[in-house]
Amino acid sequence: MHLKPRTAAIMAALAVVVALIPHHPAMAGPDGKAIAGKSDCFACHNVMNSEGKKMGPSYEDVAKKYAKDPKAAAMLAGVIKKGGSGHWGGGAMPPHPALSDADTKALATWVLATKGKEKPKPAKPVKSATP
């Protein structure tokens, strides 16, 4: 198959661009579930209500409470990082200043993804375009 020179040049340039795109699972962003597992989150929170009650609300309840709030992820990320109280009664959420902003955002996004239907799945890694 013979290609016109212009088509061949465009395809070659596209191949170079695709080859330069990083193809690493970390490029999909931090995994909220993994962050929760490495931190102390599960000491106070369950993912689903069916797992029982702990000190803090389940992530299912958090997702339901903030389902229609477009600013919820940013607010929750701030509460995770700085701590807070008054959102769920008298208990206080301790701060987690060692978590990066990217980690707190990923964790908040993961929590909001529960929506009471099933445990949220981690983000899928970016697949390589090259075999």
Residue 16 counted as domain residue: no
Residue 78 counted as domain residue: yes
Cα distances (Å, whole numbers) of residue 7 to 25, 60, 86: 32, 52, 62
Structurally, the chain folds into a number of domains equal to 1
Q: What is the pLDDT of residues 42-53, one digit of tens each?
A: 999 999 988 888
Please check whether residue 79 is in contact with residue 92, taking contact to mean a CB–CB distance below 8 angstroms.
no
Q: What is the pLDDT of residues 8-33, one digit of tens each?
A: 566 665 555 444 444 333 334 578 88
Q: At 63, which CATH number? A: 1.10.760.10
Domain boundaries, position 84: 28-112
Residue 42 counted as domain residue: yes
CA 4 remoteness from chain centre = 45
Q: Is 20 left (phi over 0), alpha (psi -120 to 50) or beta?
A: alpha
Contact residues for 28 (Cβ-Cβ < 8 A; gap 6+):
123, 124, 125, 126
